Each structure stands twice: as C-alpha cells, then as structure tokens.
Structure 1
C-alpha cells in the first residue's frame, strides 16, 4: 500500500438551486471568502490557479490547479493538481429534491517531504484533517450562498 496515496469523497447536500452552487464552486478565486482553509488563490489565467490550503494540522499545502473539465450541462468541474499534492479533484453537482447535492471526489498523492515521512503514523490524522476541512467548506459555502 502506498501510504501517500489518498482517495476522498464528500457529499454536500445544500438547500440551494443547482446553478447557484455550480457557479460558486466554479469561481475558485472566491473560495477564500467562504472556505477558511483555502488560504489563498492566485489566478494565473482562466483555467490555472495556484492555491494554498491549510486545515487543522498547521501545515500549508500549495498546488497548481489546472482546469481539466468544465461542463455545466453535466454539472461537472474537474481539475488536475501538481505541487505538494498531485492528482485530480472533481465536483459533480446534481439536483437533490428542492436543493442540490455537490459530490467531491479527489485522488491525490502527497509530495510534501515532511508529510511523506510522517505518512504511516500520520495517515489517520491527515484523513481526519481532510474531513474537517470539507465539513468547514460546506458550512462556509452554505453561509455564503444564503447571504447572496
């Protein structure tokens, strides 16, 4: 088993219209306004940005996100990532009753040297760190969308 390889899935039920959720998730440069763990977004062009994230473990991860797919009809936003983490992430946004379900899938390898060295013992904490970051992101997005 590669202790530096991770697969994540998060489901965000949101009582907000699908098009509103899609637009908010598409606008990556706005993430720091509502997602506290997204520390910075440096938009390089329409399809490339450099992001720095930090959740509860006080360690920054910086990566370049390149748009791989933007399909409003299918409700899909997908990026490839290189840097401290490498792999891909995808939002799939679907109708869910009167609201929306935002599904986040991510498959990454950790490249940051210290995190690689701590992989075996740190893995449960890294997974918990990600879960807490995603929970905070959902709460932040919901507050942001309800304020709009």
Structure 2
C-alpha cells in the first residue's frame, strides 16, 4: 500500500474515532429515560379524552433511598407532542389511614406542575413514605380537546 493511501486511511480512522467518541460523550444520560425522575418505574397511566383517545401518559417513579415518588406527564402525537399546549401533573400525599382504591379525601401535601409545554409537565417529586398517593394529569391538544386522568389512592406504604 502506498504512503498516500495509508495516510488517508489513518486520517479517516482518526476522524471516525473522534466522531464515535463525541457521540458517546453526548449521548443522553440514563436519567433521561426517566424523564428527570430518580428511582425506578412503578406505574404508568394513559391520559385519555372522553372519546377514548390517548393524549399521553403519566409515568410514576419511586426512589427507595429518599422515599420520594416522582411523576411526569408526557404527551404523544394525539396530545400535540412538540406543540405548546396546556399540560399538567399533580401528586397528592393522602393523610394517614387512607386505604388503596379509596378517594384521598384528606390531603397532607401536594405538588403540581401546570403550564403550556411542548413535550411534558414535570417532573414533580413528593416524599410520601408510609402514605398513599393520588396522581392526576391534564393534556389539551391543539384542536381544543382535553384528556384527563385521576387516580384513586395508590402505592400505599
């Protein structure tokens, strides 16, 4: 192989290695898969319109080291993903004694993120160890339709 070809191949290899290294260095972190929430995925809920169309999902996480629940509402195409529309997520910490599947009529605390977003509302975290939680979400799409989800008391303990 003549030196000119060898030099070109060496240059191409160096450029390829640099590009691969750049791609690895700029790859999204593992936490991006959790939409900014710490912990493990414990549940998800479809956010549906009255007509039954799913506009997105609530993703719920629990961090056992901090005893915090974290939730995010992520829009899909029907929910106008990529278009600024009203989107919300809320987590409620039920008072002691609330049983799973019941209404969380007495609230100890709550966190909410609501506004005009392109992709998601949240993440929002709430310490609720030893208590049930409720989650709710709303997504308005660009056509003026609304989808909502309201849970009963869940993930008690």
TM value normalised by structure 2: 0.27
Bigger RCO of structures 1 and 2 (CA < 8 A, at least 6 apart)? 1
More helix by share: 1
